[in-house]
Structure 1
Amino acid sequence: MIYPKMAVIGCGLIGSSVIRAARAAGVVGSVAVGEASPAHRAQITALGYADLVTDDMAEAVADADLVVFAVPVLAMGPAAVTSAAALKPGATVTDVGSVKVSVGDALRAAVPASVYVIPGHPIAGSEQSGPAAGFAELFQGRWVILTPQADDRPEYADATRQLSDFWTALGAQVDTMDAAHHDLVLAVTSHLPHLIAYNIVGTAADMEEVTRAEVMKYSAGGFRDFTRIAASDPTMWRDIFLANKDAVLEVLGRFTEDLQALSRSIRWGEGDKLFELFSRTRDIRQGIVAAGQDSAEPNFGRDRPASDGAPKP
Structure 2
Amino acid sequence: MRRVRLSSRLNVSSGDAVARKKKSAPVFGTVALVGIGLIGSSLARVMRREGLAERIVGCARTRRTRAKARELGLVDATFASARQAAKGADLIVICSPVSTYTAIGETIGPVLKSGAIVTDVGSVKRAVIDALAPHIPDGAHLVPGHPVAGTEHSGPEAGFAELFEGRWCILTPDDATDSSAVKRVTELWRRAGSRVEIMDASHHDLVLAVTSHLPHLIAYNIVGTAADLESVTESEVFKYSAGGFRDFTRIAASDPVMWRDVFLHNRDAVLEVLGRFNEDLSALQRAIRWGQGDSLEELFARTRAIRRGVIEAGQAQEPGAGGAKPKARTRPAKKNRGNAAGKSSTARRSTSRSGR
Separation in structure 1 between the aligned mates of residue 171 and residue 135 of structure 2, nearest angstrom: 19
Cα offset, 1:297, TM superposition: 6.2
* Aligned with residue 302 of structure 2, among 236, 255, 280: 280
In structure 2, what is the equivalent of residue 80 of structure 1? 105
Cα offset, 1:196, TM superposition: 0.3
1:210 aligns with 2:232: yes
* Aligned with residue 136 of structure 2, among 90, 111, 135: 111
Contact 1:20 1:136 in 2 (8 A): yes
Letter in 2 for 1:26: G
Report the TM-score when normalising by structure 1.
Answer: 0.94
In structure 2, what is the equivalent of residue 65 of structure 1? 90
1:40 aligns with 2:65: yes
3-state secondary structure, aligned to 1:251: helix
Contact 1:132 1:307 in 2 (8 A): no
Contact 2:121 2:147 in 1 (8 A): yes
Contact 1:6 1:65 in 2 (8 A): yes
CA-based RMSD of the aligned residues comes to 1.7
* Aligned with residue 285 of structure 2, among 260, 263, 276: 263
3-state secondary structure, aligned to 2:270: helix
Q: 1:163 to 1:157 in 2, by over 3 A?
A: same
1:187 aligns with 2:209: yes
Cα offset, 1:62, TM superposition: 1.7
In structure 2, what is the equivalent of residue 129 of structure 1? 154
Contact 2:284 2:296 in 1 (8 A): yes
Task: Report the more deviating stretch, 110-119 or 127-136.
Answer: 110-119
Cα displacement string for residues 148-196 of structure 1 (whole angstroms, at most 9, x for unaligned residues): 12316xxx01111111111111110000100000000000000000000
Cα displacement string for residues 6-27 of structure 1 (whole angstroms, at most 9, x for unaligned residues): 1100111001111111111121
Cα offset, 1:85, TM superposition: 1.5
Task: Flag structure 1 segments of 5+ consecutive residues without an equivalent.
Answer: none
Question: Percentage identity across aligned positions?
Answer: 54
Report the TM-score when normalising by structure 2.
Answer: 0.82
In structure 1, what is the equivalent of residue 329 of structure 2? none
Q: 1:8 to 1:36 in 2, by over 3 A?
A: same
Letter in 1 for 2:223: V
Cα offset, 1:308, TM superposition: 5.0
Aligned length: 304
In structure 1, what is the equivalent of residue 33 of structure 2? 8
Cα displacement string for residues 54-108 of structure 1 (whole angstroms, at most 9, x for unaligned residues): 1021221122111100000111121121122111111110000000001111111
Task: Flag structure 2 segments of 5+ consecutive residues without an equivalent.
Answer: 1-25, 323-336, 345-356
1:309 aligns with 2:331: no
1:173 aligns with 2:195: yes
* Aligned residue runs from structure 1 range 135-150, under 5 A: 135-150=160-175
In structure 2, what is the equivalent of residue 246 of structure 1? 268
Contact 2:163 2:319 in 1 (8 A): no
1:94 aligns with 2:119: yes
Q: 1:307 to 1:192 in 2, by over 3 A?
A: farther
Contact 1:24 1:310 in 2 (8 A): no
